Amino acid sequence: MTTTDKSGQRTWLQDMKRPKRGVPEGLWLRCDGCGATVFRNQVEENLNICSECDHHFYVPTASRIQQLLDLDSFEEWYADLRPVDPLKFADRIAYSERLVQEQKRTGMTEACTVGRGYMRGRPLVFGMTDSSFIMGSMGSVVGEKLCRAVEQATEKSLPLIIVSGSGGGARMHEGIISLMQMGKVSAALARFRKAGGLFISVLTNPTMGGVAASFASLGDVVIAEPNALVGFAGPRVVQATCKIDLPDGFQTSEFLLKHGFVDRIVHRAQMRTELARIIDYCVH
């Protein structure tokens, strides 16, 4: 599927990769929103938001869970699912090698984490994709974890929240198997929906391609963080096809809100409160 524009204005990936690559962690960050040089610690203490312009930086999985769920309430499920290389895929490096590198760099086994947690005392099934691991793309493990999470939510009659951060859509390195994960997770969501489950989808920067074109768009309520890149085709591909300048704010959360595909844009500082409130409206 499509991916985000690597050369575009969004350099979240480069920013967040830097410390994890073993390069000494810089004290300062350059904000993509306002261009200001900001103190890294200050940003991290402020939910990874720029205090100058409110730019929402990337949030790693552990911090996201901390930000959204009650303290120590998260119980991870299926952590022992590991990716393999079904196609024996190799581009400039072998996929099996890439997986090892990504696991080392990020400290995660895959791009997806699922489990059960509490949000201000409300039990729920929680899942998220982390854009730092192979662009947060969906291969077999991401598809399987999400699918099991949806099935668990159905079985246990719990609300479901999935936070998406996937620039890569369906993962190319697992070929057609990745594409089929879109169908698999969407079918599980159909059953969850029929059973009366509440699914809130939270879109973060970036949510693109096959992730956007499956579970991420299917929330009963779709919430987006401000100014996240969300769309089907990558902006570079769209530009190449249409051969026109892309409209201002194309494929941002605000663009989606305007065109009717996002219910609410929610600032990270209010996210937990907003999500809990929506749960209260739907879950009795």
The footprint of other proteins (CB under 8 A) covers 1-3, 78, 80-84, 86-87, 89-92, 140-141, 143-144, 147, 169-172, 174-184, 186-191, 193-194, 209-210, 212-218, 230-234, 237-238, 241-242, 244, 246-247, 250-251, 255, 259-261
Q: Which is nearer to other proteins, 259 or 284 (CB)?
A: 259
Q: Which region holds residue 170: left if phi is over 0, alpha if psi is between -120 and 50, else beta?
A: beta
Determine which helix (DSSP H) or strand (DSSP E) holds 116, and give its type and residue range. Answer: strand 112-119
What, of other proteins, Zn ion, none, does residue 33 touch, CB below 5 to 8 Å by kind? Zn ion
Q: In the complex, what is the shortest distance from the CB of residue 14 to Zn ion, in angstroms, rounded to a whole number? A: 16
Beta bridge partners of 166: 207
What, of other proteins, Zn ion, none, does residue 170 touch, CB below 5 to 8 Å by kind? other proteins
Of 234, 225, 227, nearest to 172 by C-alpha is 234
**Cis peptide, bond prior to residue 235, ω within 30 of zero:** no
Q: In the complex, what is the shortest distance from the CB of residue 17 to other proteins, in angstroms, rounded to a whole number? A: 17
Q: Quote the tokens at residue 35.
A: 């261009």
For residue 248, the number of C-alpha atoms closer than 13 Å in the C-beta half-sphere is 0
Q: In the complex, what is the shortest distance from the CB of residue 41 to Zn ion, in angstroms, rounded to a whole number? A: 15
Binding site for Zn ion (CB under 5 A): 31, 33-34, 50, 52-53, 55
What, of other proteins, Zn ion, none, does residue 178 touch, CB below 5 to 8 Å by kind? other proteins
- Would you say 77 and 116 are in contact if contact means Cβ atoms under 8 Å apart? yes
Q: In the complex, what is the shortest distance from the CB of residue 250 to other proteins, in angstroms, rounded to a whole number? A: 7
Q: Which is nearer to Zn ion, 152 or 204 (CB)?
A: 204
Q: Which is nearer to other proteins, 50 or 138 (CB)?
A: 138
Residue written as token pair 């985000």: 4
| Pairing mode of beta strands 112-119, 160-166 | unpaired
Beta bridge partners of 222: 201
Q: Which is nearer to other proteins, 117 or 168 (CB)?
A: 168
Task: Give the three-state DSSP class for 210.
Answer: helix
Q: In the complex, what is the shortest distance from the CB of residue 174 to other proteins, in angstroms, rounded to a whole number? A: 7
Q: In the complex, what is the shortest distance from the CB of residue 29 to Zn ion, in angstroms, rounded to a whole number? A: 9
Q: Which is nearer to Zn ion, 46 or 96 (CB)?
A: 46
Kindly report the CA angle at 58 between 118 and 209, in degrees rounded to 5? 90
What, of other proteins, Zn ion, none, does residue 52 touch, CB below 5 to 8 Å by kind? Zn ion
- Spacing of C-alpha 187 from chain mean position: 20
Of 168, 198, 174, nearest to 280 by C-alpha is 198
Q: Which is nearer to Zn ion, 55 or 64 (CB)?
A: 55
What, of other proteins, Zn ion, none, does residue 55 touch, CB below 5 to 8 Å by kind? Zn ion
